[in-house]
Amino acid sequence: MFIYFHGNSAFSLPNFMTYRASLWDTIRLLRLPRLLSKKFTMCNMITILRAIGTILLGTPGLYLLAMGNAQAEDIRACLITKTDINPFFVEMKRGAAARADALGIELSTFAGKVDGDHETQVQSIETCIASGAKGILLAASDPKAIVPVVKQARGAGLLVIALDTPLEPMDAADATFATDNFKAGRLIGKWARASLGKKADSARIAMLDLALDQPSVDVLRDQGFLTGFGIDVKDGSRWGDEDDPRIVGHEITAGNEEGGRRAMENLLQRDPSIDVVYTINEPAAAGAYEALKAFGREDDVLIVSVDGGCPGVRNVKEGVIGTTAQQYPLLMASLGIEAIKAWVDSGKRPEPAPGPGFFDTGAALITDKPIPGIESMDTKEGLDKCWG
């Protein structure tokens, strides 16, 4: 509990209680906020009076006066994303902020410097615990390594909800709101194979993945694509062990445009005949396209991706990307905020439907080149539903 007096300065109740002020020191402290700010509230007065009672009587004093304070206190929640640059997470932040505002929740947001910045996410969770937050929405950069600090947060009474990327194990979080990333990958893989027809049997495939530590979202999309394309993935819990000769190689992109460009250049140097490019997301796809353009190959290579942001859907419309699987970060974030509110109000944790163990927020194939038997929507509808 913090008592805010002025600007960003705060006086914590634990420090106040250990101050062991005399009666006159306490009275002077009560007068101090009036001098610092005209916004001194009755809620702050009640909190200070309770502290006085504790100091003077040695027990939780003025309890009846303090009872109303908990009711007046704002609900605090945190959103922690992988970055604040990727349009997907920008939209997630926007959705969470809008829903939090509607429900009267005070939302703090944090993000890694780049995708994969695990340490910043750990520090952010620790900050949320210390701030008195009731819940955390987390899009984890490293879903395995983050688990110990997530356990710490849950042990402190916070509801922790994974967004977009399931933790490993999944039940390390109280709930998960995410795209079925394997399904999204499989959709674009099936579409790519059907688009190529007989040429799929001799395709030269570039796999542009996310990170070397292979977070769950990375593995699921990659393995989903290969499965949809008809390739044996061997161990579906990781990428890179496939022995299908059509796969030229896997390169990491960090999920951004520069990473996509560099990864595509590396694979083109290995095999200039690449004709299919899988990308972890649309920023990586945009970078891959620029590399292909520099090699004079932009018109004869099929690029597929996952995200469904407005820039990506426009790239589908313009022929830069053949298809993308659209996901819905605003919905993920909104549902997460609602779950925190329900947790505070009733103590009830969200319960996913039987099956995958998480709340599937949906994925839809976007393309202007539909394939019979594969459900999709065109870019006009995709632009109506896109984000970013």
According to the model, what pLDDT value does residue 73 have?
A: 59
The answer to whether the bond into 169 is cis (omega within 30° of 0) is yes
According to the model, what pLDDT value does residue 388 have?
A: 83
The more confidently predicted of residues 204 and 44 is: 204
pLDDT category at 332 given cuts 50, 70, 90 is very high
Q: Is the pLDDT of residue 113 over 80?
A: yes
pLDDT in tens, 39-81: 444 344 444 444 444 444 444 433 333 334 444 458 999 999 9
Q: Mean pLDDT throughout 164-192?
A: 96
Token pair listed for 65 = 């006066």
Angle at 214 between CA 148 and CA 245, to 5 degrees: 160
pLDDT in tens, 208-224: 999 999 999 999 999 99
- What's the DSSP call for residue 189? H
According to the model, what pLDDT value does residue 28 have?
A: 40
Residue 141's identity, in one-letter code, is S
According to the model, what pLDDT value does residue 9 have?
A: 35
Q: Mean pLDDT throughout 101-114?
A: 96
Token pair listed for 147 = 């688990």
Q: Which of 33-47, 136-150, 296-310, 337-351 has the lowest mean pLDDT?
A: 33-47
Helix/strand/coil percentages in the chain, nearest 5 = 50, 20, 35
Q: Mean pLDDT throughout 224-233?
A: 99
15: CB partners within 8 A, 6+ apart: none
According to the model, what pLDDT value does residue 355 have?
A: 75
The more confidently predicted of residues 64 and 122 is: 122
Question: What's the pTM value of the predicted model, to 2 decimals?
Answer: 0.77
What are the helix (H) ranges across the chain? Answer: 13-18, 23-36, 42-57, 63-72, 87-103, 118-131, 147-155, 181-196, 216-229, 257-270, 282-294, 310-317, 329-346, 379-385
